[in-house]
Amino acid sequence: MQKLLHYFDSYGSRCEADLYLPSASKPPVVVLAQGYGCERGFGTKGIIKAIVDAGIAVFVFDYRGFGGSDSLHNEERQLVDPHRQVEDYHSALRYVSTLNEVDAQRIAIWGSSFSGGHVISVAGSDWARSFPLRAVVAQIPHCDSRSAYKHAGLKKSLGGAGNIIKGGVLSWLGINHTVPVIANADDPHFAVLQHPGWYEGYMHMVDSASQWKNAIPAKSLLKCASYNPIDVARHITAPVLMVYGLKDQGIPVDDVQRTSNFIKDVEMFAFDGDHFDAYDGGAHQVMIVKKEVEFLSRKLK
């Protein structure tokens, strides 16, 4: 497996990426990015290796403001803006389609958790109608922020609203207010992700050599509040594989199933586990990877 460092432009900012190539010439390629608050490579080494071993290239990138990518117009680092991250997917796809090393007519996208929502948004966008997108893998995908806030409960919702207000006030004073991405379920302080067992699962993914911090600007909460990939699912024409956990504490099963009802060509694969069981070291990852690679091989080859 050959690994090449690449840089591409996304709306005026430079993004960093890795291109993993199999031994075959002109292979199909999967464009891949990470979930909420993550850098490239967090928790996905297993799926990347399996895809490449199957003779398919993988292009994995950092969103603007994360990892090796530049920030957008001097924005704070690690700002989670789903609409800009979807733009980064568009930019990555445009760039990959120009590479001589891969077959530009056989391109798929893969996303997990928050980026599972991104690939639904990309595939359902007007932009995708003029792009040769052959397949979509949406793993444990975030589908509907309205539903997510409803399931979060009153205390969590009030905590988020309070941090949004606090962040807005402090920004007038030139202070960047941040909130943790992840915390233990019994931590009394607010964090975006806070379910039993999730802290250990998330931190297990973090590369020890990374400069990643468990903190995002509080205004990320406001930017994510209106993000609903389900609203564009009806426009998807590419075949989609949706993978979801029956015991997922953060992604309601009903959200995934409702979203799938809008997609014309969809395959569903459920596993009997929680959110982080799908990532490197997770209890169900081997089974999930096998299913996803089989789907991608079938649609791309």
To which residue do tokens 């060509």 refer? 265
Q: Is the separation of the CB atoms in 157 and 145 below 8 Å?
A: no
pLDDT in the model for residue 12: 92
In percent, the amount of the chain with pLDDT more than 90 equals 78
Residue with more model confidence, 210 or 261 = 261
Domains of the chain (ranges; CATH) run 2-149+227-300 (3.40.50.1820)
CA distances from 2 to 5, 6, 20, 40, 120 (A): 10, 13, 6, 17, 29
DSSP per-residue codes, 188-230: SS--SB--TTHHHHHHHHS-TT----S-EETHHHHHHHT--GG
Let me know: does 134 contact 107? Beta carbons within 8 Å: yes
- For the cut 90, the answer to whether the pLDDT of residue 188 exceeds it is no
Residue written as token pair 């931590």: 187
* Least confident piece of the model among 33-42, 103-112, 161-170, 274-283: 161-170
CA dist., res. 61 & res. 41, Å (int):
9
Can you tell me the distance from the alpha carbon of 214 to that of 167, in angstroms, rounded to the nearest whole number? 17
| pLDDT grade for 41, boundaries at 50, 70 and 90 | confident
DSSP string covering 84-143, please? Answer: HHHHHHHHHHHHHTT-TTS-TTSEEEEEETHHHHHHHHHHTSGGGGGS-EEEEEEES---
**201-250 pLDDT, tens digit each:** 999 999 888 899 999 999 998 888 899 999 999 999 999 999 999 999 99
> In the prediction, which pLDDT does 283 show?
95
Q: For 151, list phi and psi in degrees, rounded to 5.
A: -75, -20
Cα–Cα distance for residue pair 270/93, rounded to 1 Å: 28
Confidence of residue 176 (pLDDT cuts 50, 70, 90): confident
Structure-block tokens of residue 103: 């077959």
Overall average pLDDT of the 10-15 stretch: 95
Q: Which element (helix H / strand E) includes 288?
A: helix 285-300
pLDDT at 144: 96
Would the pLDDT of 266 be above 70?
Answer: yes
Rounded to an integer, what distance in angstroms lies between the CA atom of residue 87 and that of residue 118? 9
Q: What is the pLDDT of residues 44-103, one digit of tens each?
A: 999 999 999 999 999 999 999 999 999 877 788 999 999 999 999 999 999 999 999 999
Instruction: Report the pLDDT value the prediction gives residue 150, as an integer from 0 to 100.
Output: 75
Residue 30 has pLDDT above 90, yes or no: yes
Q: Who wins on pLDDT, 146 or 272?
A: 272
Phi, psi (deg, nearest 5) at residue 169: -65, -45
